[in-house]
């Protein structure tokens, strides 16, 4: 190759491969004139909301969603607010209040708004996004953290497992990754370090929520190799 | 993502002529010819004879300036490039407007007055150059640098680089807000590069008054990549020892299945085509973006 060719290609402009056409799903919805239809579950479990615990106690199990959802305490299955809301949205659970009256979606959304059950709206949207895709998602547990004496508010939000039809709540393997739902700003270096410490070697991902849209990122420490 | 070589023979050429050797030859050539550069604004101009011209181009320092002059080829170097030749490789002398050669402190003061954040950018630049990566301006991509495995004529750049410093006095002001981070990751995906953050950490005794401050800081490298849960559902390997990397492979073209009326079985839950399509719409499945991702996987 001639020196002139080397010189002229040193600015790397040929790398620019930006796609000009962009398919915007909002535009699609607008033109189609209808809201996408959701396939509802035919098997509906039943659960009572327990305000003291901030969880739903399952009294009737139907279908298969319960296998990979909820936690068992003293022999009974409980759903967190995000699990409850997700299942309620797709009719996988029929929610009852303590006096056996039906709790509608409006009531459940209000419970999220109250903020007393350990999950805010943005965290729920992340939960729902992954759960809809078949991932197995649980709240970050402190069981692995017994060695860590430092207690601070900063911790991962979820433990996530890849879709797995052999998953058993009683004997899960290590999560595939931990997930932190970022708040207003990208995580700082110190925040990343503190979160990773609490992950005990399990990879950490970050998610960000714009209303209705969830995106995920990995921030990985690397070391570029020394080249010849 | 490994290096994307341009053409069949490029990788072999790179192995036959390692960049470290080319840079060494350039160093000798500049010392031998007593080449001197001229400080002009935020650039350094130098006139090179035939031997040095060839090596400057092959080592990828500076941009040639097209002039009618026949016996000399003029090059314009960035502050980082010229300071690397001056300070790290000790093969270039630099003069100011008074035509007098400047010493290291004078050059440093001049550069800092033009570009106060220079120590961070130079630390990042020299960190990668010392590892024999080719580092060029990232101006056209809105980043600080781009890094190539070898000469840009033979390989596409792999990394788009942003330089960050720690703490509240981060001099570059990048990636403080989500819109900037998302914009960068999106852009990098479109031009098939990985976003690389070089974080410059200062230790005690750091003072920007002299080049000695460069020894009082170190570089941490991070990549920031977008993860698409629709495409990564089957585990390939998890590197548990480092705990930092998560590898996944595309097990099925999930979004393709959604669009092709296929029924999917995921975990214990059976999804009908409508729910998959609804999820695709609800969760911003972007066919153009998926196409780009597929193209990337070919490399």
**Residue A94: predicted pLDDT:** 94
Residue B221 has pLDDT above 80, yes or no: yes
The residue from A119, A153, A173 where one domain ends is A119
B152 contacts in chain A (CB < 8 Å): 9-12
The residue from A64, A92, A119 where one domain ends is A119
Place of tokens 């101009």: B45
**Residue B284: predicted pLDDT:** 40
CA distance B90 to B86: 5
ipTM for the assembly: 0.79
Structural domain contains residue B26: yes
Nearest alpha-carbon partner for A14 in B8, B191, B190: B191
Q: What total number of domains does chain B contain?
A: 2
Residue A15 has pLDDT above 60, yes or no: no
Structural domain contains residue B53: yes
Same-domain pairing of B222 and B143: yes
**Residue A150: predicted pLDDT:** 58
For A65, the closest of B220, B223, B269 (CB atoms) is B269
Q: Cβ–Cβ of A224/B178 closer than 8 Å?
A: no
Under 8 Å between Cβ of A207 and A215: yes
The residue from B115, B138, B161 where one domain ends is B115
Same-domain pairing of A74 and A147: no
Structural domain contains residue B190: yes
Residue A41 has pLDDT above 80, yes or no: no
CA distance A171 to A178: 18
Structural domain contains residue B105: yes
Q: What total number of domains does chain A contain?
A: 2
Structural domain contains residue A23: no
Confidence bin at B207 (pLDDT 50/70/90):
confident
Same-domain pairing of A73 and A115: yes
User: Residue A212 is part of which domain span?
Assistant: 120-227
Least confident of A69-78, B12-21, B60-69, B249-258: B249-258
Residue B280 has pLDDT above 50, yes or no: no
Structural domain contains residue B268: no
Same-domain pairing of A171 and A209: yes
Residue of A nearest to B224 (CA): A219
List pLDDT tens digits, range A156-214: 999 999 988 788 887 778 899 999 999 888 998 889 999 999 998 999 999 999 888 99
Same-domain pairing of A172 and A196: yes
Same-domain pairing of A111 and A186: no
CA distance A125 to A130: 9
The mean pLDDT of chain B is 80
Strand order, beta sheet including B36-40: B63-65, B73-78, B43-48, B36-40, B93-95
Same-domain pairing of A136 and A155: yes
Residue of A nearest to B51 (CA): A3
Under 8 Å between Cβ of B289 and B189: yes
The larger pLDDT score, comparing residue B171 to residue B208, is at B208
Same-domain pairing of A135 and A194: yes
pTM: 0.77
The residue from B47, B82, B115 where one domain ends is B115
Structural domain contains residue A33: no
The residue from A84, A102, A119 where one domain ends is A119
Same-domain pairing of A133 and A218: yes
CA distance A124 to A115: 12
Range B189-209 average pLDDT: 88
**Residue A35: predicted pLDDT:** 59
**Residue B168: predicted pLDDT:** 55
For B226, the closest of A14, A217, A221 (CB atoms) is A217
User: Residue B140 is part of which domain span?
Assistant: 116-235+244-261
């Amino acid at each position: 190759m001639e020196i002139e060719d080397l010189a002229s290609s040193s600015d790397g402009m040929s790398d620019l491969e930006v796609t000009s056409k962009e398919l915007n799903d909002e535009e699609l919805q607008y033109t189609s004139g209808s809201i996408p239809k959701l396939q509802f579950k035919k098997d509906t479990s039943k659960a009572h909301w327990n305000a003291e615990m901030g969880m739903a106690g399952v009294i009737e199990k139907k279908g298969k969603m319960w296998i990979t959802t909820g936690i068992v305490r003293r022999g009974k299955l409980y759903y967190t607010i995000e699990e409850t809301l997700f299942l309620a949205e797709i009719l996988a659970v029929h929610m009852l209040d303590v006096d056996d009256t039906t709790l509608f979606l409006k009531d459940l959304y209000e419970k999220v708004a109250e903020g007393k059950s350990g999950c805010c709206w943005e965290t729920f949207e992340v939960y729902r996004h992954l759960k809809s895709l078949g991932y197995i998602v649980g709240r970050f547990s402190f069981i692995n953290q017994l060695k860590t004496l430092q207690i601070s508010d900063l911790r991962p939000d979820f433990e996530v497992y890849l879709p797995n039809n052999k998953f058993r709540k009683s004997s899960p393997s290590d999560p595939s990754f931990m997930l932190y739902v970022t708040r207003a700003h990208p995580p700082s270096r110190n925040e990343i370090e503190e979160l990773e410490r609490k992950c005990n070697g399990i990879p950490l991902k970050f998610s960000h929520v714009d209303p209705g849209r969830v995106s995920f990122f990995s921030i990985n420490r690397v070391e570029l190799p020394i080249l010849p | 993502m490994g290096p994307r070589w341009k053409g069949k023979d490029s990788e072999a050429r790179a192995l036959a002529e390692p960049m470290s050797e080319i840079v060494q030859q350039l160093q000798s050539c500049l010392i031998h010819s007593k080449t001197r550069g001229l400080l002009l604004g935020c650039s350094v101009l130098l006139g090179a004879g035939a031997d040095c011209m060839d090596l400057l181009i092959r080592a990828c320092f500076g941009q040639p300036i097209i002039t009618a002059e026949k016996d000399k080829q003029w090059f314009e170097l960035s502050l980082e490039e010229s300071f690397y030749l001056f300070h790290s490789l000790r093969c270039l002398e630099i003069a100011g407007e008074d035509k007098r050669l400047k010493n290291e402190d004078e050059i440093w003061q001049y550069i800092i007055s033009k570009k106060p954040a220079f120590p961070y950018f130079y630390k990042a630049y020299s960190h990668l150059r010392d590892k024999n990566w080719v580092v060029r301006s990232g101006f056209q991509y809105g980043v600080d640098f781009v890094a190539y495995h070898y000469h840009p004529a033979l390989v596409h750049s792999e990394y788009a680089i942003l330089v960050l410093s720690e703490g509240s006095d981060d001099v570059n002001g990048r990636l403080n807000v989500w819109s900037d981070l998302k914009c960068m990751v999106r852009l990098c995906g479109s031009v098939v590069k990985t976003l690389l953050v070089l974080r410059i950490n200062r230790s005690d005794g750091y003072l920007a008054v002299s080049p000695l401050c460069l020894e009082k800081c170190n570089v941490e490298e991070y990549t920031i990549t977008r993860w698409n849960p629709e495409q990564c559902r089957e585990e390939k390997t998890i590197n548990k020892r480092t705990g930092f990397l998560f590898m996944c492979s595309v097990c099925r073209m999930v979004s393709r299945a959604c669009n092709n009326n296929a029924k999917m079985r995921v975990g214990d839950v059976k999804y009908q085509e409508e729910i998959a399509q609804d999820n695709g719409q609800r969760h911003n499945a972007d066919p153009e973006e998926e196409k780009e991702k597929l193209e990337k996987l070919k490399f």
